[in-house]
Amino acid sequence: MDRPEDTPGRPAGAPSQPAAPPRYGRYVVLLVLLILIFITLNTILTKPVGAGGIAPGEAMPQFAVPLASSYQYAHADANVATDGPHPACSVRKPGVLNICELYEQGPVVLALFVDGGSCTGVLSEMQSLVGEYPKVRFAAVSIKGDRRSLRRLVAARHLTLPVGIDDQGDLATLFRLATCPQVTFALKGGIIQSKALLNPPSLATLRARVAELAAATGPVSGGSG
């Protein structure tokens, strides 16, 4: 029997060559990448257990986020700390949306939304109620998104209500985000007054809920709608 080194086409004693890598290796890499992309998208889009907003009677989660219009804090993340050297409630400065500061002043209507798409329409609806209910504090936070487009949105809609941005999406978990937009209603002091609105509301629906919030806090500050 011929020895391996004596096989035709190769000089006797020549070292054997390693086998060529399988050509399908690149497809395996592509498949792995597709699986990772699928897992990432599924993690983002899957609603967490108990999603649907904070239950009435619970405390509103504390947070401080940079305003979309702020250039000073262009790369700052959301602060959701409740203790330690720099808790969220202590971060009070221009260019920052601090929810604690807002609910200390009065009842709060907070919309969480995703930059782009039809759900940003709630911002215009909320803005239209600012004058009707001057004692109610209106605010919105974009979950991730692009700051430049948010600035354009704020300017195009002539928004005076503060619009923040949460680059990491921490508030989506804290507020048990289920839909876009999700509108939360809290009494003065930060206690959730009623169930969150989980779908884009009509102006009439939003006005009615704001009126209920204002009435639960004290004398109605605007028209009953």
- The CATH number given to whatever domain includes residue 107 is 3.40.30.10
Q: Average pLDDT in the 58-75 region? A: 90
Top-confidence residue, 70 or 101: 101
pLDDT at site 222: 44
pLDDT at site 145: 84
Q: Average pLDDT in the 144-166 region? A: 93
Residue 5 scores a pLDDT above 70: no
pLDDT at site 176: 94
Q: CA 209 to CA 133: how far, in whole Å?
A: 12
In a domain, 29, yes or no: no
Q: Average pLDDT in the 154-177 region? A: 94
Q: For the chain, what is the mean pLDDT?
A: 82
Top-confidence residue, 165 or 18: 165
In a domain, 48, yes or no: no
Residue 121 scores a pLDDT above 60: yes
Q: CA 208 to CA 225: how far, in whole Å?
A: 7
Q: Average pLDDT in the 192-200 region? A: 94
Q: CA 111 to CA 166: how far, in whole Å?
A: 13
Number of independent structural domains in the chain:
1
In a domain, 88, yes or no: yes
Confidence of residue 31 (pLDDT cuts 50, 70, 90): low
Q: Average pLDDT in the 207-220 region? A: 85
112-132 burial code (b ≥16 CB/10 A, e <16): bbbbeeebbebbebbbebbeb
In a domain, 159, yes or no: yes
For the whole model, what pTM was predicted?
A: 0.74
In a domain, 134, yes or no: yes
151-179 burial code (b ≥16 CB/10 A, e <16): bebbeebebebbbbbbbebbbbebbbbbb
3-class secondary-structure state, position 88:
helix
In a domain, 91, yes or no: yes
In a domain, 70, yes or no: yes
In a domain, 68, yes or no: yes
pLDDT at site 144: 87
Residue 219 scores a pLDDT above 60: no
Work out the widest C-alpha separation in the chain, in whole angstroms. Answer: 104
Q: Which domain holds residue 154?
A: 64-217
